C-alpha cells in the first residue's frame, strides 16, 4: 500500500532539523537583502522564500535583528572562506598572485555580494555586535594579505620593516576593495578578467614585484 517513495502527502508540513531550518532562513534573508535591500527583507518574505510560515522565524531567532546578525556573519564567513582557499601552494609570489586574482573574479566580485555588503553597512555602524564581525573580517583579510606580501618580498630577496609591511597590506587591500566595489556596482563597465588584470598590475606596482597570472598548462 504505502510506497515510501511516493508521499501521499496529506501531511501539511515536515519537521526538519534545526540546522536545516536556520540555514534556510539565513539564506533566504541574504537573498532578499541582496535583491531588495534591508527594507525588502521582511519576516513574511523571508519565511515565504524559506518555505515556512512567518511564525517559525521567532522559533529559531529571538528577533528579526538576531536573524540579520546571523545572516551577516554567515555572509562574511563565506566570503573569507572562499578567498582564503584560493592561494594554492606554490611559491610565495604565486600565492599572492592567486589570492589577488581570485579576489577580483566571480564569485567574489558579484553585484549581489556588494549589494549585501552595502545593505549591512548601516547596521554595522550602529550595532556593536555587527561592528565586531566587520572588524574581524577586515583584519583577517588584511593580515592574510600582509603575510603573503611579506613572504613574497622575502622570496625575492627584499626585507621589509613591520610597519612598512602593514602599510603595504592596507594599500593593497584598498585596491582590491575598490576594484571589488566597482566591479559589483557597475557590472557592465569592466570586461571579464579586466579587474583581475588591473589588480595584479596595481598590487605588483605597490609592493614592487611584477605579478603575472600565467595560464597553468601541462
Partner DNA sequence: CCCGCAATTATTCAAGTGTATAATAACTTC
Partner DNA sequence: GAAGTTATTATACACTTGAATAATTGCGGG
Residues that bind a copy of itself (CB under 8 A): 36-39, 111, 114-115, 117-119, 121-125, 134-135, 138, 167, 170-171, 173-179, 181-182, 185-186, 189, 198-199, 201-202, 205-206, 208
Contact 107, 113 (CB under 8 A): yes
Q: How far is it, in rounded angstroms, from Cα 88 to Cα 77?
A: 19
Q: Would you say the C-alpha torsion 11, 15, 20, 23 has a positive or negative sign?
A: positive
Which CB sits closer to DNA, 21 or 75? 21
- The least distance separating a copy of itself from the CB of residue 121, rounded to whole angstroms, comes to 4
138 binds, among a copy of itself, DNA, none (CB under 5 to 8 A by kind): a copy of itself
Determine if residue 88 is left, alpha or beta; phi over 0 gives left, psi from -120 to 50 gives alpha, anything else beta: left
Helix, strand, coil share (%) of the chain residues, nearest 5:
70, 0, 30
Angle 192-183-114 from CA coordinates, rounded to 5°: 135
55 binds, among a copy of itself, DNA, none (CB under 5 to 8 A by kind): DNA
171 binds, among DNA, a copy of itself, none (CB under 5 to 8 A by kind): a copy of itself
- For residue 59, how far is the Cα from the chain centroid? 28
Chain length of the chain: 218
- The least distance separating DNA from the CB of residue 54, rounded to whole angstroms, comes to 5
- The least distance separating DNA from the CB of residue 57, rounded to whole angstroms, comes to 7
Which CB sits closer to a copy of itself, 21 or 75? 75
- The least distance separating a copy of itself from the CB of residue 120, rounded to whole angstroms, comes to 8
182 binds, among DNA, a copy of itself, none (CB under 5 to 8 A by kind): a copy of itself
Q: ω into residue 207 within 30 of 0, thus cis?
A: no
108 binds, among a copy of itself, DNA, none (CB under 5 to 8 A by kind): none
- The least distance separating a copy of itself from the CB of residue 39, rounded to whole angstroms, comes to 5
Which CB sits closer to DNA, 68 or 172? 68
Which CB sits closer to DNA, 63 or 131? 63
Contact 83, 143 (CB under 8 A): no
Contact 132, 123 (CB under 8 A): no
Amino acid at each position: 500500500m504505502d510506497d515510501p517513495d511516493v508521499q501521499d502527502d496529506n501531511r501539511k508540513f515536515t519537521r526538519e532539523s534545526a540546522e536545516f531550518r536556520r540555514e534556510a532562513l539565513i539564506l533566504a534573508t541574504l537573498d532578499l537583502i541582496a535583491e531588495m535591500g534591508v527594507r525588502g527583507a521582511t519576516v513574511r518574505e523571508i519565511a515565504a522564500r524559506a518555505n515556512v510560515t512567518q511564525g517559525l522565524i521567532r522559533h529559531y531567532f529571538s528577533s528579526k535583528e538576531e536573524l540579520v546578525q546571523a545572516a551577516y556573519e554567515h555572509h562574511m564567513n563565506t566570503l573569507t572562506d572562499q578567498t582564503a582557499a584560493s592561494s594554492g601552494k606554490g611559491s610565495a609570489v604565486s600565492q599572492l598572485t592567486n589570492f589577488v586574482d581570485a579576489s577580483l573574479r566571480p564569485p567574489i566580485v558579484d553585484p549581489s555580494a556588494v549589494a549585501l555588503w552595502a545593505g549591512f553597512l548601516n547596521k554595522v555602524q550602529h550595532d556593536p555586535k555587527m561592528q565586531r564581525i566587520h572588524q574581524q573580517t577586515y583584519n583577517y583579510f588584511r593580515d592574510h594579505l600582509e603575510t603573503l606580501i611579506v613572504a613574497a618580498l622575502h622570496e625575492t630577496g627584499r626585507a621589509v620593516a613591520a610597519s612598512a609591511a602593514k602599510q603595504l597590506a592596507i594599500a593593497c587591500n584598498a585596491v582590491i576593495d575598490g576594484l571589488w566595489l566597482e566591479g559589483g556596482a557597475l557590472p557592465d563597465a569592466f570586461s571579464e578578467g579586466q579587474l583581475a588584470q588591473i589588480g595584479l598590475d596595481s598590487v605588483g606596482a605597490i609592493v614592487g614585484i611584477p605579478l603575472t597570472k600565467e595560464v597553468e598548462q601541462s
